[in-house]
Each structure stands twice: as structure tokens, then as C-alpha cells.
Chain A
């Protein structure tokens, strides 16, 4: 069964710092990759997704992610974080023809004003 790991449990940054959250998955076939954000007390919202093509994908709110197939990674980045980015971030993987999303354990981001 495929699995998804996220390197950091809790990341604390100051405003304007750059962000990179790691995500690795175990499935060797075709995958669709996603990052979701969950603001405190709210539901999950899609930040960005990768299906094929350009491995660098841009999402909402200035986030981007890079798919590196050889490393089975899909790291999330933002050049300059804001206090409002404080949230839980989930990486998710969907096998190419599968129905089941597998979510990573999440990374809590705290941005200090």
C-alpha cells in the first residue's frame, strides 16, 4: 500500500521567511499529487495539484510545489510567508487510476508576526 510522509511535524517561522514543506510518497506508478491547507477550525482546501506536464506547479495564495519523480517528492514552497498562512498542511497522493487519496500526517505551520 502506498504511504505519504511529511518530514516536519511542526514548523515555526517569522513573517517574510521562506517556506519549504517536504512530502514523499511510496507509490512507484503514475500518481496525482496534491497539497491541502486546513486553517484553524476549518475544512481542507485545495492549494495546488499535479497531474502531468511541468513539474513545477503554482497554486493559490503564492504557493508552489515541485514534483521530483526520481525522489518521489512533492515539496511545497512559498518565498515569503504571512501570519495568515498559519495552518495545517497536508500532502495527498492519488494513484493514477485509483479512488483512494492517501493523506500525509500533516505539518503544522505557525507564522509569528
Chain B
């Protein structure tokens, strides 16, 4: 009965590889997000989708491509991984405009070696 679930929880991969992180929410929320948390715990939004439509697309390398097949899923695909991509990636969801706050997934710790 997990509200926002991400897979995998841990991901270790070599530079240059392509990887995907999946996210699903069963809360009936309209909007989903991807956040990156760096080694200093700083949280930065990457993307936001509302009903499968891209709403926020922050300054993120175009190696990162979100895909939302339906409003309950928001996947993150990363091409040509670099060392600097190592971080924890959090998926989140909310009702439109986020007034009730976000519900976060448990995070995916990505390590690029």
C-alpha cells in the first residue's frame, strides 16, 4: 500500500551507461515531480508533470528525460551517465498546486563509477 514507490532503491553503474528510474503513485494525485538531492542534502527540482503534461523543466542536462505514460507514473531516463550525476533522486506527487504538500518516494541512490 505504498503511496509513492520508486525502483530501484540503489543503482550503481558505470560512466556512459543509460539507466532508468521508475516512479508510481497510488494517491490519485494530479502532479508528479523529480527532485535531486546532492551530497550536501540540497534538494533541487528537476521536472514536474501535471496529468502527463510537462509543467516544470528546470535547467537540467538534456541527458535527463522524464516520461509520464499516465498521471500515476513518472519515469526518469538518464543517458550517458556522468560522475556528477551521483545523487539521491526523489520522486514526489501532490494534488494540483501542491497545497497539501508533497508525498515523497523513498529515493533512489544513484552511484556512477
Contact = CB atoms under 8 A, between A and B. Distances in A.
B104 A45 contact: yes
B65 to A, nearest CB: 20
A90 B42 CA distance: 9
Interface in B6-29: none
A32 B96 CA distance: 13
A101 interface: yes
A44 interface: yes
Contacts of B83: none
B56 interface: yes
B104 A44 contact: yes
A42 interface: yes
Nearest to B44: A103
B68 to A, nearest CB: 15
A94 B90 contact: no
B90 A99 contact: no
B64 interface: no
B42 to A, nearest CB: 6
Given A43-B105, A103-B43, 19 more contacts: A32-B98, A36-B101, A42-B106, A43-B90, A44-B104, A45-B104, A46-B101, A46-B102, A90-B43, A94-B97, A97-B97, A99-B50, A99-B55, A99-B96, A99-B98, A101-B102, A103-B42, A103-B44, A105-B41
Interface of A: 32, 34, 36, 38, 42-46, 49, 51, 88, 90, 94, 97-101, 103, 105-106, 108
Interface of B: 31, 40-45, 48, 50, 55-56, 90, 92, 96-107
6 contacts: A36-B104, A38-B41, A44-B92, A46-B102, A97-B97, A99-B96
